[in-house]
Amino acid sequence: MPGTHKQNSMFKKSDRGYDQSGHPFAVTSCGRRRDDGSPIAITNASYEKSNAKMRSKYKSETGKTLGSRQTSGKGSRRVSFACRFAGMKGPMKDSKGRDTRKAIALKKWGFGSVGAASKFCRANKKS
C-alpha cells in the first residue's frame, strides 16, 4: 500500500499488504474507498461539532464571531435563513429514515419543515 509510514501503521501488515478489515468503507476494484451508497449519517452531536469547527475557523480567519442561531422571533438573519432554505430542493429524510443535514439545520433554526420556513419567509420578508 502506498503512503507514509504513519498512514500505513494504522493497519496490520499481512503477507498481501495491509489488512484494512476494520475500515468503515469498502475498497473498490481501483483501490478507492466508497461508502455503501447512503449519505453519511449525521447526528445532532456531529452537526454541533462541525458547526463549532466552522465558527472557530471563521473567528481565527476574520477575528469576528458569527451571530448565534435565532430559533424564535423575526430577526433579519432568521428571515434570511428561512428564505434561503425555503427554496432548497432535497429530502428531509434519507433512505434509512434519518434526518438529512437540511432537516437538522431547519430544526435548529426553529422550523419543522420547508413549508414552515417558506411561510415564515413570505410573512416577514421586507422587500
How far is the C-alpha of 18 from the C-alpha of 10, rounded, in Å?
9
- Selected residue with higher pLDDT from 70 and 26: 70
Is position 28 within any domain? no
Q: What single-letter amino acid sits at 66? A: L
Question: Model confidence over 41-65: pLDDT tens digits?
Answer: 556 677 778 788 888 888 899 888 8
Q: What single-letter amino acid sits at 117? A: A
pLDDT value at residue 37 = 47
pLDDT value at residue 83 = 93
Residue 38 pLDDT > 50, yes or no? no
Is position 7 within any domain? no
| DSSP states of 12-51 | EEETTEEE-TT-SSEE-TTS-EE--SSPPP--HHHHHHHH
Residue 121 confidence class, pLDDT cut points 50, 70, 90: very high
How far is the C-alpha of 93 from the C-alpha of 104, rounded, in Å?
10
* Domain that includes residue 99, residue range: 44-124
86 exposed, middle or buried (CB, 10 Å; 0-12, 13-18, 19+)? Answer: buried
Q: How many domains does the chain have?
A: 1
Is position 26 within any domain? no
Is position 58 within any domain? yes
Question: Are the C-beta atoms of residues 117 and 85 closer than 8 Å to each other?
Answer: yes
